[in-house]
Amino acid sequence: MTRVLIINGPNLGRLGVREPEIYGADTHDDLVAVVGEWGSALGLDVEVRQSDDEATLVGWLHEAADARTHVVLNPAAFTHYSYALRDAAAQVTSAGLTLIEVHLSNPHARESFRHHSTISGVATGTIAGLGFTSYHLALEAIRVSRLED
């Protein structure tokens, strides 16, 4: 079974209470439950992790590259300035694995500082602005990419 690690960055543990007008009322626990269901339906072994700590996220990306695990990454605020996260993400794709960058909201429809992603240039693809559905589409993309191998 294809393994997928979903990594969520800073403040995503606050879903449901943080700016619900942007991120909705569903919680991170709701996200974990629904992506688990989607993963099972797609024949994927999905694990979801969240941290506000950049070093932890980098370590998880290293772990994914070493374990040959595909990644769905929502770098959250680190999207815009974390070159450490970018370099760790590049190790995943350099290993021939799929890494999909996801965002709940559309960064390009928000403040100008959110328009730049340090991750997009090394990601296999980017899906943004579709709420939790962004994760479903990312899992589907990984499933399809594995069928093509």
Has 23 been annotated as catalytic?
A: yes
* SS3 state at 96: coil
- Candidates 23, 70, 135, 136; catalytic one: 23
Helix H or strand E segment including 140: helix 133-148
Task: Output the furthest CA–CA distance in the chain (Å, rounded).
Answer: 41
Residues forming a β-bridge with 63: none
For tokens 């559309």, the residue is 106
Q: Among residues 70, 103, 135, 136, which one is catalytic?
A: 103
Look up 80 and say whether it is catalytic: no
Active-site residues, by number, are 23, 103
